[in-house]
């Protein structure tokens, strides 16, 4: 059997534990009215990266916000390192937003 690989970063998925990995059902094309659903395993940081965007996107300096801003992950990082960095930045910002939005009296 082929070792499991994360579809986002291509690195190995640990098979001895489910900690830090998430199963996403992959729905294949319809054949005779039915789709083949197969489990796909992602690192949790990689599936989070797909939702929150790149590090530059989380920081609001990507090409979505700034003309000519970077697109995609930072150079010099693996896709998984970039996913961890994006998630860390997202968590830091979310914690800050919570603090800012908490009424103080
Ligand atoms: Zn991954
Ligand atoms: Zn963006």
Q: Which ligand is nearest to the CA of 9?
A: 1
**Distance from the alpha carbon of residue 22 to the mean position of ligand 2, in angstroms:** 24
What is the SS3 assignment for the chain? CCCCECCCCCCECCCCCCCCEEEEEEEEEEECCEEEEEEEEEEHHHHHHHHHCCHHHHCCCCCCCCCCCCCCCCCCCCHHHHHHHHHHHHHHHHHHHHHHHCCCC
Q: Which ligand is nearest to the CA of 60?
A: 2
**Distance from the alpha carbon of residue 40 to the mean position of ligand 1, in angstroms:** 11
* Cα pseudo-dihedral 24, 72, 74, 4, rounded to 10: 20
Based on the number of CB atoms within 10 Å of its own CB, is 54 exposed (0-12), middle (13-18) or buried (19 or more)?
buried
Question: Is the pLDDT score of 94 beyond 90?
Answer: no
Q: Which ligand is nearest to the CA of 8?
A: 1
Question: Is the pLDDT score of 42 beyond 70?
Answer: yes
Q: What pLDDT sits at residue 1?
A: 58
Q: What pLDDT sits at residue 105?
A: 61
What percentage of the chain has pLDDT greater than the value 70? 96
**Distance from the alpha carbon of residue 57 to the mean position of ligand 1, in angstroms:** 19
């Amino acid at each position: 059997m082929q070792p499991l690989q994360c579809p986002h970063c291509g690195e190995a998925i640990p098979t001895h534990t489910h900690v830090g990995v998430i199963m996403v059902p992959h729905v294949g094309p319809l054949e005779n009215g039915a789709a083949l659903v197969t489990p796909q395993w992602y690192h949790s940081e990689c599936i989070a990266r797909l939702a929150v965007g790149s590090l530059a996107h989380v920081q609001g300096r990507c090409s979505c916000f700034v003309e000519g801003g970077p697109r995609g992950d930072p150079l010099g990082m693996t896709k998984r390192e970039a996913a961890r960095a994006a998630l860390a930045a997202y968590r830091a910002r979310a914690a800050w937003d919570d603090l800012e939005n908490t009424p103080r009296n």
